[in-house]
């Protein structure tokens, strides 16, 4: 049975039993505790916690998931994977244990002709949480399972939570016995390779805190309702039903391995080490395509770093298989073809996905080239020193600083006849991990206790948002918080959070800054500095009581700062226009990656795998946007279904989660986007848009900054004034300024070159006198002095080579020192006759460098270094003399 059919049957089974089919959420959700969605229940978390009323009592989904804690184990086993699909069914206070067990048992054991998966009931085992007698009774009643195929297990195995504070509960796991050829008898307790887990039924009833009940810690509370959360591993079911040995050989994964076989000329299944590399490529290629598809770009932090690591592990593995040319784009194409039947957005957005992936590969291939040069230098140094080991410090520096994979370092060291000090390398890696964990713990956004907000939501319902229609309203205070605690009143001077039954204030979201303004009562006033939505459906007004005492249930009048709202709305509308202009100029690969809409200014981030946007393209984008302003187009906003919005061609942002009903901001055929922000009524209201700059903010991500309205006009006026001042200073017309300034710059550069030449000639002029003053050390001419004033460290090599040349055919050594900014630079040069006598510059430096608190090295003819103690130069020269005397 093909994987897409497994998915179809799962969805059909639960739809038939009253479940609403919900599309997979993006891998990127607004949860500070998760890098990626790692379970099917994540998008339903607000329903389980009671933060938002569920729109349906039952749901089913096929959720794409990424888990990376065991990334280093991928490929080494056939059970670890970073990307997988989790099929799940969910109940929000509807059915509980009995329903979950009945639905699962029916689907897995019904014949394939009846729409099930056709698993043999006699090969099914289950596990339950230690004391869950109810679940045991239901398995025996519903499935007829004998007691010996039901095993009790502890919290590590049969209690489920997300690994962070949130919902959880005891669970019951379903296993399939693959047969005696795969391991020992005795059920999951004895061997989880033979007895493979395929489905986990979580009886979600608890809310966990920082410490997990998996480890015996009590929950911090119970959920508002008993819920069901299940997760069936689609890939695991696929390999069982397809009769292959593991998930890597299923219909959606094996094609990637086949492509790797084609590119490498090697065959999967013949070599254990090669098989690990094939599996890494197959798993990581799927993960990477899905992650990039949801809007992540490679970077050095967070999700971007995980993505970068996945992509680079693919390149590394392919290289170790013998693939020397670019390959990521070809693997991505295979993933697209395999997965787009379930995720059609991969095909629609493949131009962007492919561009991001190919750009990262190009960057990493350059990194590998640079790393190889550093590696060669390290090998040369080890061999010159007579060592057979490459220091762990150097291997770590290659890995940490240059991104050079340790596997390649090990392989190349072996080819060079060296071994790597793995113990030291591992110790340094452990230190880095410890620092990273400590940093993560310090930065971690802890579990936010939103129970006080939920209490308001449960009592008064969602905040009615009026801000699209009006900027004032008559409202009632339904919640009052100070320092996170509910209070009956707040007095003048106190910071407070005010929750209202309805409000025109826009809460910060989608890149748009929050409204500010005033809440006025009969005898009090609150200045609103910020508005947030910590719980979906609520708007929390944060500010200071500036007069009187505000109390619960007080009647108030809200007043949004009109000027600020108008300025922010102009910026938001301008962002949509700039977005459209950028995509028009650069193509669909230029997708929005972030934005900021502030009064009078905007910041727009977008993916640009091809690098910097040409200046001419920026000018065209600015002109095009302002032409739309001049047309004074009407801006329409309306709500429609998600499907209708797609058919209209509305732009949808990667990583955003949309409901069935969406809000469209429509500017005709130029820009049409899904957006919940505020906007002006006509494009002409923007007045003017000025693009200020374009720059990189990370690998493959660019940022455009622009001004809007009066701010843009003021900037243009300032520029005009500056141009006029320059024209007056240079006695030129404005249009002549580029040529005139260019001419001045070139003249300045010529003058600097002339000065440098004169200085170099002056330095070299001292060469002859230094050579003439050489002292004789038993037949070897030695010039060892502090260089004349004006000679810097950069000049030493030139002067030393010149002095050496003037020593002629004599055996000679030139050692020159220079002091600059309290530090010492030195260069040693030897003549050919000296080298013939066994004198090497690189070997002389260790004889004296310590005297100046330094070190250095180089080749037999020329070596250099530096130190920190200028007072030791005389001692260094004396040590050099001693080294040259036989």
Binding residues for Zn(2+): 572, 576, 675, 679
What are 366's strand-pairing partners? Answer: none
Residue reference for tokens 């998008």? 43
- Pairwise CA distance, residues 803 & 74, whole Å: 60
- Pairwise CA distance, residues 308 & 360, whole Å: 8
Residue reference for tokens 């979600």? 204
- Pairwise CA distance, residues 778 & 376, whole Å: 38
Residue of 137, 22, 177 whose CA lies nearest to 90: 22
- Per DSSP, which regions of 618-771 are E strands? 636-641, 661-666, 672-674, 689-698, 701-708
The SS3 assignment for 732 reads coil
Residue of 363, 370, 420 whose CA lies nearest to 395: 420
- Pairwise CA distance, residues 687 & 711, whole Å: 10
Q: Taking the chain, what is the end-to-end CA distance rounded to the nearest angstrom?
A: 85
- Pairwise CA distance, residues 665 & 680, whole Å: 10
The SS3 assignment for 847 reads helix
What are 233's strand-pairing partners? Answer: 86
What are 175's strand-pairing partners? Answer: 125, 197
- Per DSSP, which regions of 599-699 are E strands? 601-607, 636-641, 661-666, 672-674, 689-698
Q: Cβ(173)–Cβ(127) under 8 Å? A: yes
Q: Cβ(460)–Cβ(501) under 8 Å? A: yes
Residue of 551, 537, 531, 653 whose CA lies nearest to 604: 653
Q: Are strands 195-208 and 166-177 parallel, antiparallel or unpaired?
A: antiparallel
At 719, list the tokens: 């520029």
Q: Is the dihedral of CA 162, 163, 164, 165 positive or negative?
A: positive
Backbone angles phi, psi at 233, to 5 degrees: -75, 105
- Pairwise CA distance, residues 699 & 346, whole Å: 21
At 181, list the tokens: 């050829």
Q: What is the DSSP string of 603-626?
A: EEEEE-TT-SPPHHHHHHHHHHHH
Residue of 171, 127, 124 whose CA lies nearest to 153: 127
Which run of H or of E encompasses 592?
A: strand 592-598
The SS3 assignment for 274 reads helix
Q: Which long-range contacts (CB under 8 A, 24 or more apart) does 380-387 make?
A: 381/857, 382/418, 383/418, 387/418
- Pairwise CA distance, residues 679 & 636, whole Å: 9
What are 465's strand-pairing partners? Answer: 503
Cβ count near 810 (within 10 Å) = 14
- Pairwise CA distance, residues 521 & 549, whole Å: 9
Q: Known binding site: residues?
A: 572, 576, 675, 679
At 369, list the tokens: 């080239």
What are 651's strand-pairing partners? Answer: 673
Interhelix angle 737-765/710-730, rounded to 10 degrees, is 60
Q: Cβ(377)–Cβ(348) under 8 Å? A: no
The SS3 assignment for 78 reads coil
- Pairwise CA distance, residues 5 & 785, whole Å: 83
At 688, list the tokens: 């003017």
- Pairwise CA distance, residues 316 & 314, whole Å: 5
């Amino acid at each position: 049975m093909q994987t897409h059919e497994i998915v179809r049957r799962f969805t059909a089974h639960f739809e038939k039993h009253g479940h609403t089919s919900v599309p997979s959420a993006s891998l990127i959700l607004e949860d500070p505790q998760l890098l990626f969605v790692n379970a099917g229940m994540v998008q339903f978390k607000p329903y389980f916690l009671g933060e938002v009323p569920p729109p349906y009592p039952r749901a089913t989904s096929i959720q794409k998931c990424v888990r990376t804690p065991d990334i280093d184990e991928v490929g080494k086993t056939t059970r670890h994977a970073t990307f997988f699909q989790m099929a799940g069914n969910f109940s929000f206070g509807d059915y509980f244990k009995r329903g979950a067990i009945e639905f699962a048992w029916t689907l897995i054991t019904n014949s394939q002709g009846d729409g099930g998966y056709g698993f043999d009931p006699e090969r099914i085992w289950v596990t339950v949480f230690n004391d869950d007698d109810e679940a045991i009774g239901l398995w025996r009643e519903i499935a007829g399972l004998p007691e010996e195929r039901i095993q009790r297990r502890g919290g590590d195995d049969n209690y489920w939570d997300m690994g962070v504070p949130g919902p959880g509960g005891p669970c019951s796991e379903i296993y399939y016995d693959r047969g005696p050829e795969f391991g020992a008898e005795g059920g999951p307790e004895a061997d989880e390779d033979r007895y493979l887990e395929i489905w986990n039924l979580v009886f979600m009833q608890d809310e966990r805190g920082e410490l997990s009940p998996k480890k015996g810690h009590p929950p911090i509370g119970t959920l508002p309702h008993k819920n069901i959360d299940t997760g069936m591993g689609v890939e695991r079911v696929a390999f069982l039903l397809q009769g292959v040995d593991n998930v890597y050989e299923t219909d959606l994964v094996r094609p990637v391995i086949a492509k790797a076989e084609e590119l490498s000329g090697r065959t999967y299944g013949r070599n254990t080490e090669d098989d690990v590399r094939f599996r890494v490529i197959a798993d990581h290629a799927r993960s990477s395509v899905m992650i990039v598809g949801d809007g992540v770009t490679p970077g050095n932090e967070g999700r971007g770093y995980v993505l970068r690591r996945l992509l680079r592990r693919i390149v590394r593995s392919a290289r170790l298989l013998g693939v020397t040319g670019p390959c990521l784009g070809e693997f991505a194409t295979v993933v697209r073809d395999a997965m787009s039947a379930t995720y059609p957005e991969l095909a629609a957005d493949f131009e962007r996905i492919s561009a991001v992936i190919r750009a990262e590969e190009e960057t990493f291939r350059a990194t590998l080239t640079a790393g190889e040069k550093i590696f060669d230098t390290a090998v040369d140094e080890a061999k010159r020193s007579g060592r057979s080991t490459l220091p762990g410090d150097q291997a770590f520096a290659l890995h940490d600083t240059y991104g050079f994979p340790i596997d390649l370092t090990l392989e190349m060291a072996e080819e060079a006849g060296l071994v790597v000090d793995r113990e030291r390398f591992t110790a340094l890696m452990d230190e880095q991990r410890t620092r990273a964990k400590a940093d993560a713990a310090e930065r971690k956004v802890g579990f936010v206790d939103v129970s006080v907000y939920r209490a308001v939501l449960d009592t008064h319902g969602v905040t009615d948002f009026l801000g699209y229609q009006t900027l004032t309203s008559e409202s009632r205070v339904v919640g009052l918080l100070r320092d996170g605690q509910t209070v009956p009143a707040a007095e003048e001077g106190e910071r407070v959070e005010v929750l209202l039954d309805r409000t025109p204030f826009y809460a910060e979201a989608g890149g748009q800054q929050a409204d500010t303004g005033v809440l006025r009562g009969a005898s009090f006033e609150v200045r609103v500095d910020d508005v947030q939505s910590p719980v979906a459906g609520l708007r929390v007004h944060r500010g200071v009581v500036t007069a009187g005492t505000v109390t619960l249930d007080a009647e108030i009048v809200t007043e949004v700062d009109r000027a600020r709202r108008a300025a922010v709305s102009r910026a938001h509308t301008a962002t949509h226009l700039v977005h459209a202009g950028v995509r028009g100029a650069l193509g669909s690969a230029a997708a929005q990656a972030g934005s900021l809409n502030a009064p009078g200014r905007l910041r727009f981030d977008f993916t640009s795998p091809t690098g910097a946007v040409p200046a001419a393209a920026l000018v065209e984008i600015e002109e095009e946007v302002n032409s739309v302003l001049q047309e004074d187009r009407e801006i329409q906003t309306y709500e429609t279904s998600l499907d209708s919005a797609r058919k209209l061609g509305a732009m949808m942002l990667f990583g955003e989660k949309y409901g069935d009903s969406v809000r469209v901001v429509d500017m005709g055929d130029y820009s049409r986007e899904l957006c919940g922000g505020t906007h002006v009524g006509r494009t002409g209201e923007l007045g003017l848009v000025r693009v200020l700059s374009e720059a990189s903010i990370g690998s493959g991500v660019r940022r455009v900054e622009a001004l809007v309205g009066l701010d843009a006009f003021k900037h243009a006026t300032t520029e005009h004034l500056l141009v006029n001042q320059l024209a007056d200073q240079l006695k030129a017309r404005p249009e002549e300024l580029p040529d005139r300034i260019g001419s001045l710059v070139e003249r300045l550069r010529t003058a600097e070159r002339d000065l440098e030449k004169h200085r170099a000639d002056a330095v070299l002029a001292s060469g002859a006198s230094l050579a003439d003053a050489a002292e004789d050390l038993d037949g070897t001419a030695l010039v060892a002095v502090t260089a004349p004033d004006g000679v810097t460290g950069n000049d030493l090599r030139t002067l030393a080579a010149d002095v050496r040349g003037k020593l002629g055919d004599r055996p000679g050594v030139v050692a020159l020192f220079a002091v600059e900014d309290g530090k010492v630079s030195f260069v040693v040069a030897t003549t050919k006759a000296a080298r013939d006598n066994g004198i090497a510059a690189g070997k002389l430096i260790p004889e004296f460098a310590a005297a100046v608190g330094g070190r250095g090295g180089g080749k037999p003819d020329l070596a250099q270094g530096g130190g920190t103690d200028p007072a030791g130069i005389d001692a260094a020269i004396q040590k050099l003399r001693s080294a040259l005397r036989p």
